[in-house]
Chains A and B, each alone.
Chain A
Amino acid sequence: MNEVANTPQDFLPLLVIVVVALAVAGIVIVLSVLLGPRRELEAKSEAYESGIRPFADTRRRFPVQYYLIAVLFIIFDIEVVFLYPWATTLHNDALKKVSLAAMGVFMAVVVIGFVYEWRKGALDWD
């Protein structure tokens, strides 16, 4: 078990990795602009279509189905957020039963929704 309370200092490695990632990305972009040769050719800016010349507009709209999936993803994402603090209570034997019951009801309610969307065909990709 974690003996000390979490402090912002615990997140310092995260900050370091973010700064390093941004720095590396920035340096690589700047270096490639400075050192890379630039020869603009028409063929280079073409969309790559496995060697076949593009004959139609490659820009197309995405089916609305993606949006529904994204909305459903948000809902289950929020559900998962509640699972993290809940999972820590399972270490405690006194609380285990109450804890399982509380989360059981919560999960059952959300699973009703999951069954509903499944039966409604919201997960079918037609």
Chain B
Amino acid sequence: MPELPVEIPIPTPHQAVFIMVAVATSVASLLVVTNRNLFYSALCLVGALFGVAGVYVLLEAEFLAIAQVLVYVGAIATLITFAIMLTRGIMFGTTSPNNRHMFAVMSMALLVFLLVAGLVDRVPWAVAEDLTLSGDGKSLIVDLGWEFVTTYALPLELIGLLLLIALVGAVMLARDDE
């Protein structure tokens, strides 16, 4: 059998799953911006956010993945869907995704992409060699739980405060009639 001039790389199972997830996420993201019906765009956005959760799983950040599904796929997507359903014109009409800002936006998106790609490529990111978490090291979620109640107890309370502020703000904005 003659040698192939270029060795065709066979993806590992991990890479194969990544390619699958990445393609699905990219297709869903493209559908979000090209769809003529904003409601379908919102549904595609759910798919894209779900794909990002898949990327988190592949990065072994399972807690982030679960949080992504719970918060983004579950709640943020619901909020966006409600926002679209609240607006009559957008819900049922078809709108063109192109307008006169299209080229400006596309060049901006390209610039941002190049910037991020350059940053990822050039910056010598610090790698945590020995990430010592105070948990038993058996599971990331257990480690996170330990960190939340020991080292990061104060940030946890501050998050509670932030949630309180957001809650009061939402109630104030939505019910200013009294």
Contact = CB atoms under 8 A, between A and B. Distances in A.
Contacts of A84: 63, 66, 141
A12 to B, nearest CB: 8
14 contacts: A2-B142, A5-B139, A61-B86, A62-B86, A64-B86, A64-B174, A85-B142, A89-B142, A89-B148, A95-B149, A103-B156, A106-B159, A106-B160, A122-B175
Nearest to B14: A8
A73 B149 contact: no
Interface in B152-167: 153, 156-157, 159-161, 163-164, 166-167
A3 B139 CA distance: 8
Given A70-B79, A102-B149, A77 B171 contact: no
Nearest to B134: A95
Contacts of B144: 85
Nearest to A90: B145
Contacts of B160: 79, 105-107, 109-110
Interface string B79-108: 100110111100110000000000000000
A66 B82 contact: yes
B156 A106 contact: yes
A50 interface: no
Nearest to A71: B170
Q: How large is the interface on B (under 10, 10 to 19, 20 to 34, 35 or more residues)?
A: 35 or more
Contacts of A114: 167
A75 B66 contact: no
Q: Which residue among A4, A11, A60 has the maximum number of chain B CB atoms within 10 Å of its CB?
A: A11
User: Per DSSP, are chain A's interface residues mostly helix, strand or loop, or mixed?
Assistant: helix
Contacts of B146: 89, 95
B43 interface: no
B168 interface: yes
Contacts of A77: 70-71, 74-75
A122 B75 contact: no
Interface stretch (B30-38, B54-62, B112-120, B121-129): B54-62
B125 to A, nearest CB: 21
A25 B91 CA distance: 25
